[in-house]
Amino acid sequence: MPSPICLFTYNRLSETKQTVEALQENYLASGSDLIVFSDGAKTEAASAKVAEVRKFIQTIKGFKSLEIIESPENKGLAKSIISGVSSVIQRSGKVIVLEDDLITSPNFLDFMNQALDFYANQEKAFSVSGYTMDLPSLTDYSKDFYLGYRASSWGWATWADRWNKVDWEVNEYNRFIRNPVEHFQFMRGGSDLPYMLWKQMNGKIDSWAIRWCFDQYKKNLFTVFPKESKIKNIGFGETATHTKSMNQFDAHFGDETKREFLFDDNLIVNKVVAKEFRKRFSVLNRIKNKLTA
């Protein structure tokens, strides 16, 4: 059975339409349950745009079922994701998650569901990502997947037994912040991670994803990535709530007709790929991205 899909929306009608239209073109769309979460307006000015999105999502077709959950208040993305995913995963045991600015390839659901099924009983697998970066070593990579130390929030999936154990309060932070060795180890997924966690814990940002990544690090678990991305992010720009520009993370789809993917239980991280992955989050790359934005 295909996993249910959670789609989180807010006030961007054009991006939401593109996200839904691409998802409707997925081979497994008609057999998948879609649950759409609509966050409430943060300001009076946003109310009309939220209403436009809500009018559109009522018209969505092409899925096995459609459930719409409208929040009367603005929860913000972090609270919306945590509460929404928790409510769905309790009844389904697994979930695929999208936000309203992600274009999926037609075989996105194939990859996600096959990975979810294959690694369901493999506790070292923390999550599945539909997105991957165009890393040099992946051009001639022989496998359909690779493993990473850092979860991705751009089209992802997980299982109830892993999601339910996440420490969203980050109770180990005070111990972590005083340990430079752990800081270094956390950075194997990117040098930006410790600073992002600091900002979260000091109220500078409100991110569910950095807490998700920290929980993965603490437990030494892995994310399953596709060799070729199944996701393109169209949410960059001045109207984006969280991200204005991320040029270094541009990706292209591979063979969109491929529907069978091979996985294996040998959960060993490829060191070359991991190094290239980490480099994309280096200070130098982040500076370059800001300068070219």
CA 159 vs CA 35, 133, 163, 265: distances in Å: 17, 23, 6, 17
What pLDDT score was predicted for residue 244?
45
What pLDDT score was predicted for residue 238?
47
Residue 196 has pLDDT above 70, yes or no: yes
Render pLDDT for 71-105 as a digit per residue (tens, 0 to 9): 999 999 999 999 999 999 999 999 999 999 999 99
Nearest-angstrom CA–CA distance, 274 and 137: 10
Confidence tier at 282 by pLDDT (50, 70, 90): confident
Render pLDDT for 142-177 as a digit per residue (tens, 0 to 9): 999 999 999 999 999 999 999 999 999 999 999 999
What pLDDT score was predicted for residue 242?
43
What average pLDDT does range 130-146 have in this prediction?
96
The neighbour count for residue 105, using CB atoms within 10 Å, is: 27
Q: What is the DSSP track for 93-119?
A: SEEEEEETTEEEPTTHHHHHHHHHHHT
Structural domain boundaries in the chain: 5-292
Confidence tier at 249 by pLDDT (50, 70, 90): confident
The neighbour count for residue 169, using CB atoms within 10 Å, is: 9
What average pLDDT does range 268-275 have in this prediction?
96
Residue 254 has pLDDT above 90, yes or no: no
Average pLDDT, the chain: 93
What average pLDDT does range 28-36 have in this prediction?
98
Residue 215 has pLDDT above 80, yes or no: yes
Nearest to 262, CA basis, from 119, 162, 103:
119
What average pLDDT does range 131-146 have in this prediction?
96
The neighbour count for residue 35, using CB atoms within 10 Å, is: 22
Which CATH superfamily does the domain covering 5-292 fall into? Spore Coat Polysaccharide Biosynthesis Protein SpsA; Chain A (3.90.550.10)
pTM of the complete model: 0.93
Confidence tier at 291 by pLDDT (50, 70, 90): very low
Task: Give CA 288 to chain center in angstroms.
Answer: 24
